[in-house]
Amino acid sequence: MKKNSNKGLQVEEPLIFEQSSPGACGVDFPEMEISKNKLGGNHRVKPIGLPNLSEPAAVRHYLRISQKNYCIDSGLYPLGSCTMKHNPRLNEKMARKPGLVDIHPLQPQSTVQGALELIYVCSEWLTKLTGMPGIAMSPAAGAHGELTGLMTIRAALEDRGNPRKKVLVPESAHGTNPASAQMCGYEIESIPANSSGRVDTEKLLGRLDKTVAAIMITNPNTCGLFEDQIVQVADAVHEIGGFLYCDGANFNAIVGRVKPGDLKIDSMHLNLHKTFSTPHGGGGPGSGPVVLSKELADYAPLPFVVKTDDRFELIESAEDTDKKPFGRIKGFHGQFGVFVRALTYMLSMGSDGLRQASGDAVLSANYLLAQLKDDLSISFEGPCMHEVLIDDRFLKDTGVTTLDFAKAMIDEGFHPMTMYFPLVVPGALLMEPTETESKKSLDNYIDSVISLAKKAATENTKHFKDAPKYTPRRRLDETAAARNPILRWKPEKNSKNNSR
């Protein structure tokens, strides 16, 4: 590695193992008074390859790594379908309370009544906001919630004597939808979108027969549009004895305004880490509770909290309930730390505040749509819900692709928008600003997007092909990274790094 490849305050940061220098240590201990021999035979005799660093070197290493991470705390994060909103610090403060942090899932229930009450109250908020009677709190994220929802549906159908064969999934769905249905043993049938960006209901209804276990629909959908025929779809699938699953990842657009129960949905996951402001990205932590209709509620997985006259009880075994849980989807009761954050958010916002948040999220997205519509190509006529879908028609004949455009956003100081998803329009650019951006910050973003669109139109392709210019790494070979990943660092044989 070149020694001075640093740029400004962006420091080239070697791996912690490469920074090891033999004997360096965070704390200096006096020589031990007892000799090795007196310790007996079981103590460590060979070095195990830990890096040797002083405390300041270790602190700098982790701080520098943290600064390489673009996050919602550093700037606007318009990643469509991900709801990257501000995470209020109050949530974090509550989640760090010793009484909540220092408990263990195997403690006797009598000693964690407050924690069980917290799970119970959180679940009550979620069932009220969705107008659905049942809930499974344990799924660890959205996709895990989809799997749970479909396993619940399967259990209910098996109980009636036939699990059925197929699940219908619109082509605009998140990839996790067909994957979840497939893992549950179902065949997937893909349903096309119509010219207005919604599911083609006529085609959908034409595919319904008694082999269909469920329809999975996303509402608002991934084109940022409300599926206005959803009640008709629900009626039709109920008619043939199937269920309606809703991917609720986009609940932020309608929370406090529309109750999914009123749309006759049977099962829907909520991404607490999206709608309810808990931090996510980089693989976690998430939380994906699933709300359930009356027909499905009894099949929800173990464990679950019930309220008795004088206490809260965690039901951990099918023998302790007259319900019919399909089993367990996760060890223990779910992502407790996320429940604390999400409940803090709901309590501090109140139901009026949540209603205002969804309104503001939709307003922000429509502001983007209005400001961008002349210079970019909006895929479907507005108004939109919480996100704006743009396709690559505005880049036609410019030599600039959606990928190039997204990379150029990095040089402007923004995290790129979601690209090439959903698949229903060519070269998609999906932007979700959320309600926590000010008008000033939206205007900054809009200025950057429009100036790039104008640059592309004037055939300045080099600007795009070279992007990103200001990052520690430039364009990566994404194909090689996916096909030939090198996931493990190995020390050179006999290197000094392996000295301890």
Ligand X SMILES: *Cc1c(COP(=O)(O)O)cnc(C)c1O
Nearest CB to ligand X, comparing residues 368 and 456: 368
Q: Are strands 312-315 and 243-247 parallel, antiparallel or unpaired?
A: unpaired
Which tokens belong to 207?
């595919």
Considering only 112, 135, 136, 143, the residue that binds ligand X (CB under 6 A) is 143
Site for ligand X in 80-139 (CB under 6 A): 81
Contacts of 356 (CB under 8 A, 6+ apart): 256, 435
Nearest CB to ligand X, comparing residues 52 and 364: 364
Neighbouring C-beta atoms of residue 455, cutoff 10 Å: 17
Q: Which stretch binds ligand X (CB under 6 A): 140-148, 184-192, 395-403, 429-437?
A: 140-148
Total number of residues binding ligand X (CB under 6 A)? 14
**Alpha-carbon separation of residue 27 from 23, 24, 94, 113, 175 (angstroms):** 11, 9, 32, 41, 49
**Alpha-carbon separation of residue 417 from 72, 154, 402, 431 (angstroms):** 13, 36, 10, 5
**Alpha-carbon separation of residue 5 from 88, 175, 470 (angstroms):** 36, 39, 12
Closest approach, Cβ 137 to ligand X, in A, equals 15
Closest approach, Cβ 186 to ligand X, in A, equals 17
Q: Contact at 8 Å (CB) between 286 and 142?
A: yes
Question: What is the Cα–Cα distance from 176 to 142, expressed in whole angstroms?
Answer: 9
Tell whether residue 51 is a contact of ligand X (CB under 6 A).
Answer: no
Tell whether residue 174 is a contact of ligand X (CB under 6 A).
Answer: yes
Nearest CB to ligand X, comparing residues 255 and 314: 255
Tell whether residue 387 is a contact of ligand X (CB under 6 A).
Answer: no
Tell whether the torsion through CA atoms of 482, 484, 488 and 489 is positive or negative: negative
Contacts of 443 (CB under 8 A, 6+ apart): none
Which tokens belong to 150?
């479909």
Tell whether residue 249 is a contact of ligand X (CB under 6 A).
Answer: yes
Neighbouring C-beta atoms of residue 50, cutoff 10 Å: 13
Nearest CB to ligand X, comparing residues 141 and 237: 141
Tell whether residue 288 is a contact of ligand X (CB under 6 A).
Answer: yes
Tell whether residue 229 is a contact of ligand X (CB under 6 A).
Answer: no
Question: What is the Cα–Cα distance from 458 to 456, expressed in whole angstroms?
Answer: 5
Nearest CB to ligand X, comparing residues 51 and 288: 288
Considering only 176, 278, 335, 398, the residue that binds ligand X (CB under 6 A) is 176
Considering only 87, 123, 127, 271, the residue that binds ligand X (CB under 6 A) is 271
Nearest CB to ligand X, comparing residues 247 and 392: 247
Tell whether residue 275 is a contact of ligand X (CB under 6 A).
Answer: no
Tell whether residue 286 is a contact of ligand X (CB under 6 A).
Answer: yes
Neighbouring C-beta atoms of residue 274, cutoff 10 Å: 24
Nearest CB to ligand X, comparing residues 13 and 247: 247
Considering only 115, 122, 137, 141, the residue that binds ligand X (CB under 6 A) is 141
Cα 176 off chain centre by: 11
Nearest CB to ligand X, comparing residues 221 and 377: 221
**List of residues contacting ligand X (CB under 6 A):** 81, 141-143, 174, 176, 218, 222, 247, 249-250, 271, 286, 288
